[in-house]
Chain A
């Protein structure tokens, strides 16, 4: 109990503590020792605590009072006391200001925190700033990686990694795993060794080597119970030509795979220069580690010239345009490139809110300072200097900003929790931690806000001329300056609000336009899911083809199913497979590379189930699927235009296809499908029969006559009737896929809507404040005029003059701001110009109406002023 008292003594002012702490402690000890432990002693302790608390308050108060007026610290303390007292007297003012600031600071802190997480923190690899994303726009082949390893002096080493799907059947239900298909040097380049066992060695990537695998920590714990004995064991992990693999190591728990979280297993890429796929299978992303002394810029130029050399030796591989984009960028920058625009927009929106909030606060303070004119004048007359008055304003702003900062931090924390719960995709894959940096950010923003919000009122307060103020209690010139300032601030707010609302209009209209884009398929009543042919029961290519044929038949038998087929990918599902093709009869210049097209492997029924319209020819049916007939293929409109621009019909034409397929004959042409979302470019595409290239993991596409979700259990049962327990994953309706494609645009629109409405609200509050303030100051004049016979509408018009001035200035500046905002948003808009008239006109009309409505409330009140009362008050 004594030690607790001793701790309590630390709260006393240092001066007092130095003088009396020892005696206080002695006295308290005496007191306590007089009582035996028990109720009386507890009562005594409570009494001592109360006495100490009272003393702490009393002594600090003494310190503040005695320091008053002495030096800067003392002066500030007096001001703080005075400001606190006066703020307590006007709670509405305090709540408005701190609430406004908290919102602005909270939003900006969140944006700043995300900005920091995405762009400033390094990736969790050793010397991660020396890791480079190599030619990120290009999918790499094995041969490219091998050539780059030797041909790029600026880089120590280059590794490639792609994705693959494997099936794990070891002990229990088969599960589909996401595998990183990596060159054996990947972990050396990244610089993270496995936690247990060994990484890949060169021999693992040799042709005919024993197949091996590295497990993720999660998989190891969840599937193998963290058993150390699994290292060295052969497990049933197949789906890529193997049935079993030997586990050689376990990755660390905190390792962030290059493809993001969710990688379960790493398997080595086999390098066999004699194999066909050595050159023509482009499936990897490449990363390199800078050689000692090399700079990222040098790596970029080296990569560019290397790509030129590759093109010289292998002219068919890339086009000149592709080579021109060859570069190397720091891995961290490449990771965040896709988010940069969204981040900048979020950041601008948050800052917009904060700036408007600051303007609002400044305005409120100017209004308050002017309203307290007599009080301030008396202070000035009693000797308070100009700086003193200004300091008073600054101290008050700082107090408000401090409260805003605390609340704003809470708001930011709330935003992060909401994002975590509702929009995990908006957060970085390597996690977001709300830590000291966020607090520092909030404090920084609060200080900046205090400066921004306090500067104008402080200057205005310092300009106050005490003599003029005292003569009759109203310094006319001062007041004119103050109201000018208020009007400017209010107009500025309206301008920013106009920009916010216009941005909201632009993004909203763009979202509507995006929703209208024909995706090239029918999004209603269709469901898709992914199935992998179990490698144990269906080991070979023919077995895989058989599996999907049986699965298709089983699904088609489910009542309510209209069309069903399998495809290697689904629209908007991500992923890409591009290859070059050689169309028969297509003329191209020497050295010009073959045209490129994406391809989907499809079974019969897929295109019908997708609901893609056929434009020419026909879609092959199941009976075409025979070895003695020509291999039939469907291409999209873009491919038909590119390959045979002068032919009326592409049907019956042939081309030499990608990968394992050879001559393909066009059976039909279908409309273009927006594979990568409504904003993506339409590229030439091929629908190649799955039988010719039997992938093991395929997406079922099922078109139903009713709501497809009601059929899901029956569809799963149908799959399991073919192969019991096979995992059915990534189940989604096409409608959901389309929705997900719109999500980034929706998120931006919501963001702009929030920023727009908050700025609008603040803008309305601002002009309301200014007008009510002018009105309040002129109540007497209005009363006299009313008494002299001025009618109400005349008075109202007079009062609205101020509003008109503010609104016209605000809207004019607002149009400029909106134009700038529109330009900033240009890259994310679709089907809407940056100068979209409806959005701009809408913003102006809305702002004007709201601003006038807000201004007319106090103006009307003024016009109803009772002349008798005013004159009595005189």
Chain B
């Protein structure tokens, strides 16, 4: 496992794509909804992250899934095998941190 962390914005995008291809706008909406509006990726941040993820081949552009062609010119992205692994590794890293914290009885803010 590499020591490298996945930047938060990029990790969120990876997570948003785990359950199937989405276009940029949908990714952004998913992130916003899942965090109840707390995290809102700006357009530049969003596409900058998409560009870097694509360059590392963690995601790739795909044809719109059947039935979604109506979304017009929007480009859809799906998670690659590498991307899925990278997300898992990042998750493992975070879990390790969670364990360490739990061992010291540190609880995430907002939990009882």
Contact bitstring B60-99, A, C-beta under 8 A = 1, else 0: 0000000000000111000000000000000000000000
Answer whether residue A209 sits at the interface, using C-beta atoms and an 8 A cutoff.
no
Top 6 closest A-B pairs, CB basis?
A51-B42, A55-B44, A27-B43, A20-B47, A24-B43, A51-B44
Q: Which of B43, B51, B73, B75 is close to A51, meaning CB atoms less than 8 Å apart?
A: B43
Q: A55–B75 contact, CB under 8 A? A: no
Answer whether residue A22 sits at the interface, using C-beta atoms and an 8 A cutoff.
yes
Q: B51–A23 contact, CB under 8 A? A: no
Report the separation of the CA atoms of residues A52 and B43 in the bound assembly, to the nearest whole angstrom.
8
Complex interface: chain B residues within 8 A of A56 (CB): 44
Binding site for A on B (CB under 8 A): 24-25, 28, 42-48, 50-52, 73-75
Q: Which of B24, B51, B52 is close to A27, meaning CB atoms less than 8 Å apart?
A: B24
Report the separation of the CA atoms of residues A27 and B48 in the bound assembly, to the nearest whole angstrom.
13
Known: A20-B51, A22-B73, A23-B24. A31 touches B45 (CB 8 A): no
Known: A16-B51, A23-B75, A27-B24. A54 touches B43 (CB 8 A): no
Report the separation of the CA atoms of residues A16 and B45 in the bound assembly, to the nearest whole angstrom.
12
Q: A47–B47 contact, CB under 8 A? A: no
Answer whether residue A588 sits at the interface, using C-beta atoms and an 8 A cutoff.
no
Task: Count residues on chain A whose CB falls below 8 Å from chain B CBs.
Answer: 22
Complex interface: chain A residues within 8 A of B43 (CB): 23-24, 27-28, 31, 48, 51-52
How many whole Å from B9's CB to the nearest CB in chain A? Answer: 11
Complex interface: chain B residues within 8 A of A236 (CB): none
27 contacts between A and B (CB under 8 A): A16-B47, A16-B51, A19-B47, A20-B47, A22-B73, A23-B25, A23-B43, A23-B47, A24-B43, A24-B47, A27-B25, A47-B42, A48-B42, A48-B43, A51-B42, A51-B43, A51-B45, A52-B42, A52-B43, A54-B42, A54-B45, A55-B44, A55-B45, A55-B48, A56-B44, A58-B44, A62-B52
Contact bitstring A38-62, B, C-beta under 8 A = 1, else 0: 0000000001101110111011001
How many whole Å from B89's CB to the nearest CB in chain A? Answer: 23
Q: Which of A19, A48, A50, A52 is close to B51, meaning CB atoms less than 8 Å apart?
A: A19
A1-49 contacts to B (CB < 8 Å): 16, 19-20, 22-24, 26-28, 30-31, 47-48
Report the separation of the CA atoms of residues A54 and B47 in the bound assembly, to the nearest whole angstrom.
12
Report the separation of the CA atoms of residues A50 and B73 in the bound assembly, to the nearest whole angstrom.
27
Complex interface: chain B residues within 8 A of A50 (CB): 42
Complex interface: chain B residues within 8 A of A59 (CB): 48
How many whole Å from B3's CB to the nearest CB in chain A? Answer: 20
Number of A-B residue pairs at CB separation under 8 A:
52
Q: A27–B45 contact, CB under 8 A? A: no
Report the separation of the CA atoms of residues A23 and B72 in the bound assembly, to the nearest whole angstrom.
12
Q: B75–A52 contact, CB under 8 A? A: no
- Most chain A CB within a 10 A radius of its CB, from B42, B44, B47, B51: B44
Report the separation of the CA atoms of residues A19 and B61 in the bound assembly, to the nearest whole angstrom.
12
Q: A58–B25 contact, CB under 8 A? A: no
Q: A26-B25, A27-B43, A55-B45 are in contact. List 4 more A-B contacts (CB 8 A).
A: A19-B51, A23-B24, A50-B42, A58-B48
Residue of B nearest to A22 (CB): B73
Complex interface: chain A residues within 8 A of B24 (CB): 23, 27
- Most chain A CB within a 10 A radius of its CB, from B28, B43, B73: B43
Complex interface: chain A residues within 8 A of B73 (CB): 22
How many whole Å from A32's CB to the nearest CB in chain B? Answer: 11
How many whole Å from B106's CB to the nearest CB in chain A? Answer: 32
Complex interface: chain B residues within 8 A of A52 (CB): 42-44
How many whole Å from A634's CB to the nearest CB in chain B? Answer: 91
Complex interface: chain B residues within 8 A of A22 (CB): 73
Q: A27–B28 contact, CB under 8 A? A: yes
Report the separation of the CA atoms of residues A16 and B55 in the bound assembly, to the nearest whole angstrom.
12
Report the separation of the CA atoms of residues A24 and B42 in the bound assembly, to the nearest whole angstrom.
9
How many whole Å from B16's CB to the nearest CB in chain A? Answer: 15
Complex interface: chain A residues within 8 A of B51 (CB): 16, 19-20
How many whole Å from B35's CB to the nearest CB in chain A? Answer: 16
Complex interface: chain A residues within 8 A of B44 (CB): 24, 51-52, 54-56, 58
Complex interface: chain B residues within 8 A of A62 (CB): 52
Complex interface: chain B residues within 8 A of A54 (CB): 42, 44-45
How many whole Å from A60's CB to the nearest CB in chain B? Answer: 11
Report the separation of the CA atoms of residues A749 and B43 in the bound assembly, to the nearest whole angstrom.
64
How many whole Å from B21's CB to the nearest CB in chain A? Answer: 16
How many whole Å from B76's CB to the nearest CB in chain A? Answer: 12
How many whole Å from B41's CB to the nearest CB in chain A? Answer: 8
Report the separation of the CA atoms of residues A59 and B24 in the bound assembly, to the nearest whole angstrom.
18
Report the separation of the CA atoms of residues A47 and B43 in the bound assembly, to the nearest whole angstrom.
10
Complex interface: chain B residues within 8 A of A51 (CB): 42-45
Complex interface: chain B residues within 8 A of A27 (CB): 24-25, 28, 43, 46-47
Residue of A nearest to B75 (CB): A23
Complex interface: chain B residues within 8 A of A24 (CB): 43-44, 47
Complex interface: chain A residues within 8 A of B74 (CB): 23
Complex interface: chain B residues within 8 A of A58 (CB): 44, 48
Report the separation of the CA atoms of residues A30 and B52 in the bound assembly, to the nearest whole angstrom.
24
Complex interface: chain A residues within 8 A of B50 (CB): 20
Complex interface: chain B residues within 8 A of A20 (CB): 47, 50-51
Complex interface: chain A residues within 8 A of B25 (CB): 23, 26-27, 30
Report the separation of the CA atoms of residues A55 and B52 in the bound assembly, to the nearest whole angstrom.
12
Residue of B nearest to A16 (CB): B51
Residue of B nearest to A5 (CB): B43
Complex interface: chain B residues within 8 A of A55 (CB): 42, 44-45, 47-48
How many whole Å from A53's CB to the nearest CB in chain B? Answer: 8
Complex interface: chain B residues within 8 A of A26 (CB): 25
How many whole Å from A63's CB to the nearest CB in chain B? Answer: 11
- Most chain B CB within a 10 A radius of its CB, from A50, A54, A55: A55
How many whole Å from B72's CB to the nearest CB in chain A? Answer: 10
Report the separation of the CA atoms of residues A303 and B25 in the bound assembly, to the nearest whole angstrom.
86
Complex interface: chain B residues within 8 A of A48 (CB): 42-43
Report the separation of the CA atoms of residues A16 and B42 in the bound assembly, to the nearest whole angstrom.
16
Residue of A nearest to B28 (CB): A27
Report the separation of the CA atoms of residues A58 and B51 in the bound assembly, to the nearest whole angstrom.
12
Report the separation of the CA atoms of residues A594 and B75 in the bound assembly, to the nearest whole angstrom.
102
Residue of B nearest to A12 (CB): B44
How many whole Å from A679's CB to the nearest CB in chain B? Answer: 71
Report the separation of the CA atoms of residues A850 and B59 in the bound assembly, to the nearest whole angstrom.
69
Report the separation of the CA atoms of residues A55 and B43 in the bound assembly, to the nearest whole angstrom.
9
- Most chain A CB within a 10 A radius of its CB, from B42, B46, B75: B42
Complex interface: chain A residues within 8 A of B45 (CB): 51, 54-55
Residue of A nearest to B43 (CB): A27
How many whole Å from B47's CB to the nearest CB in chain A? Answer: 4
Report the separation of the CA atoms of residues A31 and B52 in the bound assembly, to the nearest whole angstrom.
23
Report the separation of the CA atoms of residues A16 and B46 in the bound assembly, to the nearest whole angstrom.
13
- Most chain A CB within a 10 A radius of its CB, from B28, B46, B73: B46
Report the separation of the CA atoms of residues A31 and B73 in the bound assembly, to the nearest whole angstrom.
18
Complex interface: chain B residues within 8 A of A30 (CB): 25
Residue of A nearest to B25 (CB): A27
A57-73 contacts to B (CB < 8 Å): 58-59, 62
How many whole Å from A225's CB to the nearest CB in chain B? Answer: 62
Residue of B nearest to A29 (CB): B43
Report the separation of the CA atoms of residues A757 and B45 in the bound assembly, to the nearest whole angstrom.
55
Report the separation of the CA atoms of residues A522 and B73 in the bound assembly, to the nearest whole angstrom.
94
Report the separation of the CA atoms of residues A27 and B47 in the bound assembly, to the nearest whole angstrom.
10
Report the separation of the CA atoms of residues A56 and B75 in the bound assembly, to the nearest whole angstrom.
22
How many whole Å from B97's CB to the nearest CB in chain A? Answer: 26
Residue of A nearest to B48 (CB): A55
Complex interface: chain B residues within 8 A of A47 (CB): 42
How many whole Å from B20's CB to the nearest CB in chain A? Answer: 19
- Most chain B CB within a 10 A radius of its CB, from A27, A30, A47, A56: A27
Contact bitstring A148-185, B, C-beta under 8 A = 1, else 0: 00000000000000000000000000000000000000
How many whole Å from A40's CB to the nearest CB in chain B? Answer: 13
How many whole Å from A30's CB to the nearest CB in chain B? Answer: 7
